[in-house]
Amino acid sequence: MSLRSPRSALRVGLLLACAAHASCGASPDYTAEDLEAATAQLRDHVRLRTFETGLLFGEGWVARAPDDAELRALYARQLAGWRLSREIREQADAVFTDDPDSPWGLHIQALGHLAGSDWDPAVEPSRRAWEALPLPEFAATYLQVLGYSDFEAAFDFLETLDAETRDTPELFAARAALENQARYRREDPAWADSSLATYTEMRERWPDHVDGYLRPAEDLFRANRSEEALPLIEQAVALSPGSVDVRQWHWWILFESEVLPADERRPAVEASIAEFQDAAPESVRGFSALAAMYRDLEDEQRARELEAAIVERDPTSRHASLVYLRQARAPSQELRRIREDHGEDSPEYRAQLEVVRDAVYEYLERPHYDDTYLGGAYIDLFYALQDMDPIPAEELAEAVRGLVEYERLNPHITYGTALRAMIDHTPYAEEAAELARNGLTASIDYVRRLRSIFDTEGELEQAARGSLSGVYDGMGWAYFKAGRIEDARHTLERALVLSENGQARFHVGQVYEHLAAEAEEREDEEQAVEWLDRAEDFYIAGFGGTRGENLNEAALEALYERRRGTRDGIEEYLATLDERDRIRRRERILESRVEAAGTYESFQLARLDGDFVDSADLEGKIAVLHFWGTWCGPCIAEMPGYQKFDARYRDDPEVAVLSISNDKATDVIEEYLAKNNFNFTVLVDDGYVNRSGVSAWPTTWFVDREGYVQFVKIGSTMKLDEEFSWRVEAIREDTGTP
């Protein structure tokens, strides 16, 4: 199969035609054969991962043949080896200027996203490139992108490829990498063996392709199989002695494993370094790899000399930016050491906070290749400023603004810890509320990016609700500090509807205390007492019966003194909180009994084992019918409590506890139960949920012996076993034993 596009061939023909006609301008200084040889050589650099030499060679050829899109794509592949996303984008733009729909331009665009570890935006251009021009390298890129963005879709795509496309080194390497991912994504270690077998076949078919040796050596080393990894990486070194990628893994396997005696490791690494320096051209990428290795060898002086050479050669390069970042992060690492050795109240720790701040400011003034690492720098700055005494308010506010602009990996810090610090320690509460509002989308996007780590849709939803709850908490607290009391109240209460949140409970309690103070000013003592009671309830719920550093505990103590005018008896009061909370919760639950109890829709539903349960068989028993699904976050959150509740009544002949799952596939339910060691009875929905009118999740009915629903609980329950049993026992007491 030819790897040159028809469009590229057409351009070569036009260039040769122009050479024969003066009207076309200056003739090129190369022939069609020269161009073919150049692209072949660039492919060799990809095959051998000699991106340093390939970059220099490709740069020269792009200057000579700027209109050849395939040539630019091969040059972009060298740039991708360096992870130079900015330069790759420039190559894509150059191709799109001439042809906005060029498949080579789309391929380059996808490479640029991959170089920046930005998987989702790479999906569309890689797919379009493959569909427009079905080349193996395009298929391999699309497969790689899907492997990170939509793992199962990657396997589906692999099955659609024809034999000719699959029978190429690019697809063998991409398939083996996908199989290795499956080991973790599918939680099946057998996929690791499949991956290694694919690499073995690749070496047999294409013994001169370095990925057939390098990639399995990496995987074996990570699996602590260094004795198997070493011969493979040494074969890769023999194939490509000047490759940074190959040499780095050679050094790590020699030095960090026990394949060699301890006294032989350093000499072996140094010998490999000397061979590399003879084989490879000097480059900032090579200097960066060497600096990292010398630092592992504890030769800090040599590492710094190499980093100085990087900055001197190319102060605006990506590798120079990494040097600046390491220098900026070093004081933060020292700060952590000081905290462990001396504590946060020590003079050493306080002095180091200033060093961290100054180092970050210096880093922010440096030239940056892109903004990838600015978010991490602002995190270091924020934590240093937050620990200062006094906290510099204006600097803290600027640090939070920097986090909002640049930090993408830790929204729980940006829109949680940092935003609350901005609210509490700066005069910009109103601005913080607006920043929090913008953080709602960022938080959801972050959770969705982590979709693969969740086993069920319910677990994903639970995480999303928790993330949103934190953002609403920050927003509501900002409203409170800005004097927007009603906005604060509603927003904080919304945070608690989404997820249990002790800090939000403290913030709601503070709002209620403020409303109590307003009522006192109006001389409405009854209303004031009601607000204070509510504040106390929220503090108690957030207190959770634990002692130590807890905002709700401190608030309870302050409220106790406010209401009584003294701290006398406070220890006895705090000691009774658990029981007081329990009594109040039980009172509210018993008061929630359905006023006009009615019967429910009858059913015949299958259990997971295939046997059927008929609602008619529940007559004479107290029945608990719990509607849930593995896709439901609040359902998942309360399942451990439900398992405990089910076990409590499993042997009780008067009580039947049944769960009805709304999941579409029984295997999803079975896998979830097995993973969590749950064994409660699950009935499979056949449309009954819709027929019965259940529309909120989870929903639980508590049915008396005559079939009347006496209690309905909608939403999750923090202390499920206890609170569900109160309802069951209340029905038992009312109806008595038949």
- Report whether the peptide linkage leading into residue 390 is cis, meaning its omega lies within 30 degrees of zero: yes
Long-range contact pairs involving 262-271 (C-beta distance under 8 Å, separation at least 24): 266/297, 269/293, 269/297
d(CA 496, CA 503): 10
Specify the pLDDT at position 465.
84
Residue 659 pLDDT more than 80? yes
- Output the 3-class SS for 371-416: CCCHHHHHHHHHHHHHCCCCCCHHHHHHHHHHHHHHCCCCHHHHHH
496: helix, strand or coil: helix
- Output the 3-class SS for 607-647: ECCCCEEEHHHHCCCEEEEEEECCCCHHHHHHHHHHHHHHH
Q: Find the farthest-apart pair of alpha carbons in the chain and give their distance in angstroms, rounded.
A: 108
Mean pLDDT calculated for residue range 17-27? 44
246: helix, strand or coil: helix
Residue 546 pLDDT more than 70? no
Q: With bands split at pLDDT 50, 70 and 90, how would you rate the model's confidence at 691?
A: confident
Residue 540 pLDDT more than 90? no
Residue 738 pLDDT more than 50? no
Listed range (49-58, 462-471, 648-657, 725-734) with the worst mean pLDDT? 462-471
308-362 residue pLDDT tens: 999 999 999 999 999 999 999 999 999 999 998 999 999 999 999 999 999 999 9
d(CA 289, CA 44): 22
Residue 24 pLDDT more than 60? no
Beta bridge partners of 625: 658, 701
Domain 28-263 has CATH 1.25.40.10: yes
* Superfamily of chain region 594-735: Glutaredoxin (3.40.30.10)
Domain boundaries, the chain: 28-263, 594-735
Listed range (24-28, 43-47, 477-481, 718-722) with the worst mean pLDDT? 24-28
Cα dist. 105→65, 67, 102 in Å? 16, 12, 5
Mean pLDDT calculated for residue range 257-271? 92
The DSSP call for residue 702 is: E
Other Cβ atoms within 10 Å of 482 Cβ, number: 18
Give the end-to-end CA distance of the chain in Å, rounded to a whole number: 82
Half-sphere exposure of 50 (CA within 13 A, CB side): 25
Task: Find the helix packing angle between 318-342 and 300-313, rounded to 10°.
Answer: 140
d(CA 183, CA 178): 9
Instruction: Please tell me which residue, 714 or 604, carries the higher pLDDT value.
Output: 604
d(CA 605, CA 685): 7
Q: With bands split at pLDDT 50, 70 and 90, how would you rate the model's confidence at 20?
A: very low
284-302 residue pLDDT tens: 999 999 999 999 999 999 9
Specify the pLDDT at position 12.
37
Q: What is the DSSP string of 541-557?
A: HHHTT--SS-HHHHHHH
Residue 375 pLDDT more than 80? yes
Specify the pLDDT at position 715.
84
Tell me what percent of the residues of the chain surpass a pLDDT of 70: 94
Residue (of 715, 728, 735, 712) closest to 594 by Cα position: 712
Specify the pLDDT at position 3.
31
d(CA 735, CA 738): 8
Q: Say which residues have a Cβ less than 8 Å from residue 254's Cβ, sequence separation at least 6.
A: 230, 260, 265, 268, 269, 272
Q: Say which residues have a Cβ less than 8 Å from residue 410's Cβ, sequence separation at least 6.
A: 375, 379
Specify the pLDDT at position 458.
75
Other Cβ atoms within 10 Å of 334 Cβ, number: 15
Mean pLDDT calculated for residue range 188-217? 96
Both tokens assigned to 554: 């401190």
| Cβ atoms of 590 and 730 closer than 8 Å | yes
Listed range (174-178, 275-279, 606-610) with the worst mean pLDDT? 606-610
Other Cβ atoms within 10 Å of 507 Cβ, number: 30
Residue 249 pLDDT more than 90? yes
95-122 residue pLDDT tens: 999 999 999 999 999 999 999 888 889 9
Identify the helix (H) or strand (E) that includes residue 522. none
Q: What is the DSSP string of 435-454?
A: HHHHHHHHHHHHHHHTGGG-
Half-sphere exposure of 115 (CA within 13 A, CB side): 22
Q: Say which residues have a Cβ less than 8 Å from residue 355's Cβ, sequence separation at least 6.
A: 331, 334, 335
d(CA 276, CA 530): 77
Q: In what order do the strands lie in the sheet with 612-614?
A: 612-614, 604-607, 682-684, 655-661, 622-628, 699-703, 709-714
Mean pLDDT calculated for residue range 474-484? 95
Q: With bands split at pLDDT 50, 70 and 90, how would you rate the model's confidence at 455?
A: low
Residue 695 pLDDT more than 70? yes
Place of tokens 């959801």: 444
Place of tokens 């202390």: 719
| Cβ atoms of 465 and 477 closer than 8 Å | no
Q: Strands 655-661 and 682-684, how do they pair?
A: parallel
Specify the pLDDT at position 287.
97
Q: With bands split at pLDDT 50, 70 and 90, how would you rate the model's confidence at 585?
A: confident
Residue (of 502, 585, 507) closest to 542 by Cα position: 502
d(CA 285, CA 292): 11
- Mean pLDDT of the chain, nearest integer: 90
Instruction: Please tell me which residue, 585 or 24, carries the higher pLDDT value.
Output: 585
Classify burial at 264, counting beta carbons within 10 Å of its beta carbon; exposed 0-12, middle 13-18, buried 19 or more: exposed
181-200 residue pLDDT tens: 998 888 788 999 999 999 99
Beta bridge partners of 661: 628, 684
522-536 residue pLDDT tens: 999 999 999 999 999
- Report pTM: 0.72
Other Cβ atoms within 10 Å of 582 Cβ, number: 15
Specify the pLDDT at position 456.
67
Specify the pLDDT at position 453.
60
Other Cβ atoms within 10 Å of 246 Cβ, number: 27
Listed range (21-25, 327-331, 592-596) with the worst mean pLDDT? 21-25
